[in-house]
Chain A
């Protein structure tokens, strides 16, 4: 286990299409976070899971966005009916409390054309 893995690394999609991203956290980490980062900005919190339970969702996460972590291991983030404003880097991170810090994945860069 070398860290947090995200797939795909890049995704180009047409406006209106649905996309799904996958995150595989560090295996013993029970917390998993999704962030979105646009150019020149810091990562913005979207949602997080403790095991399979989704504990918090940001107001940024419109009803077109859904995230799951069905078995408490990997997670998926789906965006339905993509818009150009969804173009961003989607970052996944994991942690194991009481360790405070996150380990980030390399991200999935989404471009909506």
Chain B
């Protein structure tokens, strides 16, 4: 089955700087890669996703890239703000279910 590895587990960046979270997946048949943001005590919220026929997607300050050959995908957050502090999960959809990474706790430092 699918296995998703995510790193780093914790990331601290200065407000205004960029943050990058990287993930790898194992199942070459996976074709959908969502990213979720989870604030303390709340449900995971989908923030951006990418399908396997696209290499990059951008939505305001957030962008995702996908390298299918290497089975790597990444989340880039530019001009970070305090409200970006949260846990971020990458995920891959293999078969009919989404498999999540273990998460990255992002701290935005003032």
Judged by a CB distance under 8 angstroms, whether B109 is at the interface is no
CA distance A35 to B98 in the complex (A): 10
Judged by a CB distance under 8 angstroms, whether B44 is at the interface is yes
Most buried by A among B45, B89, B96, B99: B96
Judged by a CB distance under 8 angstroms, whether A101 is at the interface is yes
Please report the total number of A residues contacting B with Cβ < 8 Å: 22
Classify the secondary structure of B's interface with A.
strand
Q: Give per-residue flags for A13-42: 1 if the beta carbon is below 8 A from chain B beta carbons, else 0.
A: 000000000000000000101010000111
The A/B interface has a contact count, at CB < 8 Å, of 50
Known: A102-B46, A105-B43. A42 touches B89 (CB 8 A): yes
Q: Which of B32, B44, B91, B101 contacts A91 (CB 8 A)?
A: B44
Assess whether A40 is in contact with B103, with CB atoms less than 8 Å apart.
Answer: yes
CB-based nearest A residue for B95: A56
